[in-house]
């Protein structure tokens, strides 16, 4: 069995709970001392057992967004050596900081995942993210801990990455589901033999359904494993996907609860940004009990987002952000409907009377401008369609501007 940290990953339940209690008490002391927002909330509160966690206050993503950028940091900025941004509630940014200890701990936690996936110092790992994903840092730290060789080269372009796979002969590929699907497609189109690659393992940055996993395993000729993480907590490094496909939480580092179907997490050891009972806005089930792999960490079964967060490829966004982009254009305030497909969004906008009476040239330009705004501001490929609010039908020569069809051949204006 491939276990990186025997002591913590296989720790007996009683010993684990004692360790959790000690760390929870230390966390409370740290929060009261260093984070003003918690000092007020935690006044007079203490814990005698892990079960006392239930009496402590929650932390919401909205509170984190309100205290942007550094309101929840528990150490002075001179101790922070890495910062990154993650998407917060309704598109507001959240800033995550790491101390030197946080980063080295991140590496050890990511190494648990890599070791569980069979990675050793003998492996050559190709890491390919891009397209809006930010999580590759943790995998690089983890690979360094295991002393595996890493190729982390951009661009995230399928032909380029396939050339790397053929030239460097990596044994492990760590990438996003979007990139993995693109690689498998191009390998098939070019009639390359996936078995000629040397891949032993493919590790994906987020969970995918069974069908996609099987398709990728066949297309890349290697077993596929998925990660589950959260940008505000750790991604990767929150849990380990064991060979049984189960996500075991690193319970020596995090406490998990489910409140009204929502995953709630407490960080036990994080220095820069410790979070108490953080409401993740992710639906979840927790399963206790022995797993065939021997790990003691509670099993996380993640469900859908609970806050309306949407995603196209690897880019997450909220509908409120769509309205914000439109607010900066001539179509500001116009009613719209949003459709999300696997590869792009379709925004159907009602044209105002004034815009509707405008020239074809003007309306076509407006469409292109809005589409380019979506790409620039949200990294989303968008197709903008205009609808006539009165007829809700395709306007013709008598009803307004007639536009040439877009490159896809579909009619630009749809009812
Ligand atoms: Zn397991």
Residue ranges of domains in the chain, CATH in brackets: 6-307 (3.40.50.12780), 318-387 (3.30.300.30)
pLDDT digits (tens, 9 = 90+) for 123-173: 999 999 875 546 789 999 999 999 999 998 778 899 999 999 999 999 999
What is the rounded distance in angstroms from the CA atom of residue 336 to the CA atom of residue 380?
17
β partners of residue 265: 256, 278
Distance 115 CA to ligand 1 centre (A): 13
Query: Which residues are close to ligand 1, an ion, with C-beta < 5 A?
Result: 242, 244, 246, 291, 293, 295
Neighbours of 287 (CB within 10 A): 12
Distance 241 CA to ligand 1 centre (A): 7
At 362 the pLDDT is 86
Distance 118 CA to ligand 1 centre (A): 14
What is the rounded distance in angstroms from the CA atom of residue 364 to the CA atom of residue 113?
49
At 393 the pLDDT is 45
Query: Is 100 within 8 Å of 66 (Cβ atoms)?
Result: no
Distance 137 CA to ligand 1 centre (A): 25
First and final CA of the chain: distance in angstroms?
58
pLDDT digits (tens, 9 = 90+) for 42-88: 999 999 999 999 999 999 999 999 999 999 999 999 999 999 999 99
Q: Which token pair is 145?
A: 């801990």
At 388 the pLDDT is 79
Distance 243 CA to ligand 1 centre (A): 7
Query: Is 293 within 8 Å of 93 (Cβ atoms)?
Result: no
Distance 134 CA to ligand 1 centre (A): 27
Phi, psi of 344 (to 5 degrees): -160, 175
Distance 290 CA to ligand 1 centre (A): 8
At 131 the pLDDT is 55
Distance 279 CA to ligand 1 centre (A): 25
Distance 244 CA to ligand 1 centre (A): 6
Distances (CA, A) of 61 to 91, 125, 228, 233, 267: 11, 34, 19, 11, 15
Distance 208 CA to ligand 1 centre (A): 18
Distance 240 CA to ligand 1 centre (A): 8
Distance 17 CA to ligand 1 centre (A): 19
What predicted TM-score, i.e. pTM, was given to this entire model?
0.90
Distance 265 CA to ligand 1 centre (A): 20
Residue 282: its H or E element: strand 278-287
Go through 126-151 and write b for each residue having 16 or more CB atoms within 10 A of its CB, e for each that does not: bbbbbebbbbbbbbebbbebbebebb
Pairing mode, strands 310-312 and 315-317: antiparallel
Distance 291 CA to ligand 1 centre (A): 5
Classify residue 347 by its DSSP letter: E
CA–CA–CA angle 134, 157, 133 (5° rounding): 10
Distance 274 CA to ligand 1 centre (A): 27
At 189 the pLDDT is 97
Distance 295 CA to ligand 1 centre (A): 6
Which residue ranges in the chain fall short of pLDDT 50? 133, 393-415
Neighbours of 271 (CB within 10 A): 20
Distance 2 CA to ligand 1 centre (A): 11
Distance 95 CA to ligand 1 centre (A): 32
Distance 225 CA to ligand 1 centre (A): 13
At 400 the pLDDT is 39
């Amino acid at each position: 069995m491939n276990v990186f940290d025997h002591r913590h990953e296989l720790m007996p339940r009683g010993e684990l709970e004692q360790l959790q209690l000690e760390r929870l008490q230390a966390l409370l002391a740290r929060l009261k001392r260093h984070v003003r927002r918690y000092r007020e909330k935690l006044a007079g509160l203490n814990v005698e057992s892990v079960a006392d966690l239930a009496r402590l206050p929650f932390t919401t993503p909205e509170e984190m967004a309100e205290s942007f950028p550094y309101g929840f940091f528990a150490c002075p900025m001179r101790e922070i050596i890495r910062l990154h941004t993650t998407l917060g509630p309704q598109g507001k940014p959240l800033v995550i900081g790491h101390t030197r200890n946080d980063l080295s701990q991140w590496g050890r936690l990511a190494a648990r995942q890599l070791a569980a996936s069979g990675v050793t110092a003998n492996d050559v790992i190709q890491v390919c993210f891009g397209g809006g994903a930010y999580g590759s840092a943790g995998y690089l730290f983890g690979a360094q801990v295991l002393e595996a060789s890493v190729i982390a080269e951009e661009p995230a372009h399928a032909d380029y990455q396939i050339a790397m796979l053929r030239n460097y002969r990596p044994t492990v590929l760590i990438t996003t589901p979007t990139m993995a699907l693109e690689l498998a497609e191009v390998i098939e189109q070019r009639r390359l033999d996936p078995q000629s690659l040397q891949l032993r393992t493919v590790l994906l940055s987020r969970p995918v359904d069974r069908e996609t996993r099987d398709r990728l395993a066949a297309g890349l000729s290697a077993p596929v494993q998925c990660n589950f993480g959260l940008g505000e907590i750790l991604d990767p490094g929150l849990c380990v996907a064991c060979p049984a496909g189960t996500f075991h939480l690193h319970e020596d580092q995090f406490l998990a609860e489910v409140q009204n179907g929502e995953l709630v997490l407490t960080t036990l050891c994080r220095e820069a940004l410790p979070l108490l009972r953080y409401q993740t806005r992710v639906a979840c089930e927790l399963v206790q009990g022995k797993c065939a792999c021997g790990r003691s960490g509670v099993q996380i079964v993640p469900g859908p987002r609970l806050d309306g967060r949407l995603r196209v490829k690897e880019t997450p966004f909220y509908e409120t952000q769509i309205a914000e982009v439109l607010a900066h254009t001539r179509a500001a305030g116009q009613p719209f409907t949003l459709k999300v497909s696997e590869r792009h969004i379709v925004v159907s906008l009602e044209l105002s009377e004034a815009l509707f009476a405008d020239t074809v040239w003007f309306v076509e330009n407006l469409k292109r401008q809005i589409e380019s705004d979506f790409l620039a501001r949200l990294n989303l490929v968008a197709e903008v369609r205009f609808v006539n609010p009165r007829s809700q039908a395709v306007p013709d020569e008598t009803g307004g501007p007639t536009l040439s069809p877009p490159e896809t051949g579909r009619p630009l204006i749809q009812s």
